[in-house]
């Protein structure tokens, strides 16, 4: 079952609570050689009843979540995504948020930044969590083998799954090996090192939810390391829309998804008829235009996520990291 159709998500109405529920339930895109996201059990939300009560509380009292998100709804989706994680780790019953966006310096040189530091209530060990949310479109022809991560690129063509994965693997998740990082953590937490290494069990983890959009017109295997339950969509060129539309059942409804509202899909009762969406898309693609993510819904077929792109997409393809592995 798609994350967008789970009962725990269906019970949420507030847009921010829906996005937080989606974040809690969504699988990671890939399985890296690092531990993945904190489990619901770690968060103290190990069963559906506890999770439902927690989400219901947020629905009734969303102000702390709204304050945490702040003005990131008007900025980059990555910042909004980070704020949701900050709130989740700070307010979930099982975890304590210790620090976020901790800059690591060597003199005046910035070595990097830790997204999140947290620990479970009642435990001393600390976890370093790096987070990213990504929406990639797969290329039938491109760098590497058909299952290469370099063939999965962002809608703007500026980044790829391979590039993001390697940056996390080679740099972000290794920051905790540096003595400068451990000094920065001790200083942030007010610890003093007196022989016993309080950070000996410091564990890096990574969370990367999102959606992989395969081509509609040709088969393409998932990328290497793809999670078996990763969220899926399709992409197609706008000139192919008419043929695709013919495959849809009557009374399909749809919505144009505007950033940063790419996480939880809107409630079905709020979707306009498909012809309303189609007229907006036709106007958008009348001139060279940026890719558009849409969501389609029908009671018989459920949800579908789509990216529509101009017929000259992609205008650029990122070079794969070296080596491409």
Low-confidence ranges of the chain (pLDDT < 50): 195, 324-325
Q: What pTM was estimated for this model as a whole?
A: 0.94
pLDDT of residue 269: 86
DSSP letter for each residue of 171-223: TGGGGGGSHHHHHHHHHHHT---SSS-TTTT-EEEEE-BEEEEEESSS--PPP
pLDDT of residue 12: 94
pLDDT of residue 195: 47
- Give the CA dihedral 167, 118, 210, 79, nearest 10 degrees: -80
Q: What is the DSSP letter of 176?
A: G
Comparing CA positions, the residue from 39, 36, 75, 319 lying closest to residue 168 is: 36
Asked if residue 115 lies in contact with residue 89, where contact means CB atoms within 8 angstroms, the answer is: no
pLDDT of residue 192: 64
pLDDT of residue 226: 98
pLDDT of residue 324: 45
- Residue 10: HSE in the Cβ half-sphere, 13 Å Cα cutoff: 10
Element containing residue 268 per DSSP (H, E): none
């Amino acid at each position: 079952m798609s994350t967008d159709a789970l009962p725990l998500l269906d019970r949420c109405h507030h847009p921010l609570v829906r996005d937080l529920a989606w974040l809690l339930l969504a699988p990671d895109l890939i399985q890296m050689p690092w531990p993945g996201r904190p489990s619901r059990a770690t968060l103290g939300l190990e069963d559906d009843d506890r999770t439902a009560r927690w989400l219901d509380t947020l629905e009734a009292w969303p102000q702390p979540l709204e304050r945490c998100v702040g003005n990131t709804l008007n900025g980059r989706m990555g910042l909004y995504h980070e704020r949701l994680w900050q709130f989740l780790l700070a307010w979930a019953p099982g975890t304590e948020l210790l620090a976020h966006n901790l800059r690591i310096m060597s003199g005046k040189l910035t070595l990097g930044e830790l997204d999140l530091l947290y620990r479970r209530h009642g435990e001393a060990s600390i976890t370093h969590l790096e987070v990213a949310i990504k929406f990639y479109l797969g290329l039938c022809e491109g760098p590497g083998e058909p299952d290469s991560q370099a063939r999965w690129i962002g809608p703007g063509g500026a980044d790829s799954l391979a590039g993001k994965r390697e940056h996390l693997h080679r740099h972000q998740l290794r920051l905790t090996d540096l003595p400068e990082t451990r000094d920065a953590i001790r200083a942030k937490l007010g610890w003093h090192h007196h022989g016993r290494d309080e950070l000996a069990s410091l564990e890096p983890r990574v969370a990367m939810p999102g959606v992989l959009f395969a081509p509609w017109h040709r088969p393409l295997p998932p990328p290497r390391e793809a999670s078996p339950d990763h969220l899926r969509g399709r992409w197609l060129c706008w000139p192919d829309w008419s043929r695709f539309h013919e495959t849809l059942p009557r009374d399909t409804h749809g919505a144009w998804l505007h950033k940063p509202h790419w996480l939880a899909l809107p409630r079905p009762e709020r979707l306009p008829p498909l012809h309303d969406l189609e007229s907006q898309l036709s106007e958008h693609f009348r001139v060279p235009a940026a890719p558009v993510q849409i969501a389609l819904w029908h009671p018989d077929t459920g949800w579908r996520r789509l990216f529509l792109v101009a017929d000259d997409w992609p205008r650029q393809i990122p070079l794969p990291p070296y080596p491409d592995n």
